[in-house]
Structure 1
Amino acid sequence: MTSAERRAYNQRQHAENRRQLVADRGPRGIAELWWDEARKIARHRAAQGDEEAWNDLARTLSNYCTRYSA
C-alpha cells in the first residue's frame, strides 16, 4: 500500500468511526458531521480557486438562521 493509499484508507476509517460515535448523539451529532463535511468541501473548492462554495454555504446558513431565529 502506498502512502497515499494508506492516508486515504486512514481518512475513511476515521470518518466511519466518527459517524458511528456521533450517531448515538442523534440529530446533533449528524448536524456536526454535515457541518464538518460542508466546511471540508468549501475549503477544497476554495483551494482550487472556486470561492462559490463558501458563498453558497454562507447563504444557506443565513437562510437557516433567519428561518429559526426568534
Structure 2
Amino acid sequence: MAEPMTAAERRAYNQRAHAERRRALVGNRGPKGVAEVWWDEARRIAGQRAAQGDEQAWDDLALTLSNYCGRYNA
C-alpha cells in the first residue's frame, strides 16, 4: 500500500495536474494560449523561488522578457 502524500507532495501534484489541464484547454487557442500558460508558469516559479529567498529567478525572467521585447520592437 502506498504511503499518503505529505501536504507539500499533494500541493505539487495538484499544481502539475492543474497545469496539464490548463495546457490541454488553451492548446486549442494555438501559440497565444500556450504562451499564456508559460507566462503563468514563469511567474509561479519566480514567485516560489523568491519565497525561498532567491530573487535570481525574477531577475532572469526580467532579462528574458527584455531580450524578447528588444528583438520584436525593432
TM-score by length of 2: 0.79
Alignment identity in percent?
73
Q: Distance in 1 between matches of 2:12 and 2:49?
A: 19
Q: Distance in 2 between matches of 1:57 and 1:22?
A: 22
Corresponding position of 2:63: 59
Instruction: Report the aligned-residue RMSD.
Output: 1.8
Aligned length: 70
Q: Which runs of 5+ in 2 are unaligned?
A: none
Q: Which runs of 5+ in 1 are unaligned?
A: none
Which SS does the other structure have where 2:53 is aligned?
A: coil
TM-score by length of 1: 0.83
